[in-house]
Chain A
Amino acid sequence: SQQGEEDPQALSIQEGENATMNCSYKTSINNLQWYRQNSGRGLVHLILIRSNEREKHSGRLRVTLDTSKKSSSLLITASRAADTASYFCATSRGSYIPTFGRGTSLIVHP
C-alpha cells in the first residue's frame, strides 16, 4: 500500500518547543502532502513536497522528504497551543488522489 504511516501516534510538548512528526510509506510517489485536522473538523492542507524536492518551508513549517528511505518529516518550530491538532501525511501516485495515514495527535501545552 502506498499510504503513509505517521510516527509517533501521539506527541505532547510545551509551547515554544519544536514538534517533529514522521511519515513512512511503501511505494514510489509523485508527491507527499501534510494536512492538519482540528478536533471535530475537516482536514486542512498545509504543504506539499514533490518527489524531486528534499526540503520545503512554509512559515513555521519545515518538511523534508527522503525518497531513498521512503520517509518524510514535518517540523513545527516554536509551537503554540493553537497548533494542537492531528497531523496527517498523504501520498499520491498516478491519479494524484491523496492516501492518508492514521495521523499524529499533537498536544501543545500552554
Chain B
Amino acid sequence: EPEVTQTPSHQVTQMGQEVILRCVPISNHLYFYWYRQILGQKVEFLVSFYNNEISEKSEIFDDQFSVERPDGSNFTLKIRSTKLEDSAMYFCASSRGQGENSPLHFGNGTRLTVT
C-alpha cells in the first residue's frame, strides 16, 4: 500500500539554525499537510498546501515557517532560526481530495530536537 515517507526520522539542531524536513506524499494525492505534536500534547495543524500554494494555515505557522514543493514528489517544511520550543514530532500527511471521502494519510514523522 502506498505510504507517505518522511526524512530524516530524527533531526537534532542547535537553536538559531535552520532545518528542512522532507516528505514524499502519496503520488496521486493532491493535498498536503504538516502537523506537529509536542511530546504529550495534542496534534496541532500547521499548514495545508494545494495546487502549489498554501490553502490554509494556523496561528502557529508564522514567518518562521515555510513550505515548498520543489519538484513533483517532495514536500518540504523549512523552519528558520529554530527555538527550543520548536522541538516536537513533525508529521506530513496527504489526501486525494478534501472532504469526507479523503482521509489523511500520515507519515511516521520527524522528531526534531532543538538544543
* Interface residue ranges, A against B (CB under 8 Å): 3, 30-31, 33, 40-45, 48, 50, 88, 95-103
CA distance A63 to B105 in the complex (A): 20
Contacts of B100 in A (CB 8 A): 30-31, 48, 50, 96
Q: When the two chains form their complex, are residues B98 and A43 in contact, meaning their CB atoms are under 8 A apart? A: no
B114 at the interface (CB under 8 A from A): no
Contacts of A3 in B (CB 8 A): 42
Contacts of A45 in B (CB 8 A): 103-105
CA distance A83 to B55 in the complex (A): 35
B43 at the interface (CB under 8 A from A): yes
Q: When the two chains form their complex, are residues B106 and A42 in contact, meaning their CB atoms are under 8 A apart? A: yes
Contacts of B25 in A (CB 8 A): none
Tell me the B46-79 residues at the A interface (CB within 8 Å).
48, 55-56
Closest chain-A Cβ to B3's Cβ sits at a distance in Å of 9
* Of the residues A30, A44, A50, A102, contact of B42 by C-beta under 8 Å: A102
Decide: A88 near B103, CB < 8 A? Known: A42-B4, A100-B35: no
What's the dominant secondary structure at chain A's contact region? loop
Interface contact tally, CB-CB below 8 A = 55
B108 at the interface (CB under 8 A from A): yes
CA distance A50 to B102 in the complex (A): 13
CA distance A103 to B108 in the complex (A): 17
Q: When the two chains form their complex, are residues B41 and A102 in contact, meaning their CB atoms are under 8 A apart? A: yes
Contacts of A103 in B (CB 8 A): 42-43
CA distance A43 to B90 in the complex (A): 12
CA distance A44 to B1 in the complex (A): 13
CA distance A6 to B45 in the complex (A): 17
Closest chain-A Cβ to B10's Cβ sits at a distance in Å of 10
22 intermolecular pairs with C-beta atoms under 8 Å apart: A3-B42, A31-B100, A33-B103, A42-B91, A42-B93, A42-B108, A43-B91, A45-B103, A45-B105, A50-B100, A95-B48, A95-B55, A95-B98, A96-B98, A97-B45, A99-B45, A100-B42, A100-B43, A101-B42, A102-B40, A102-B41, A103-B43
CA distance A41 to B106 in the complex (A): 9
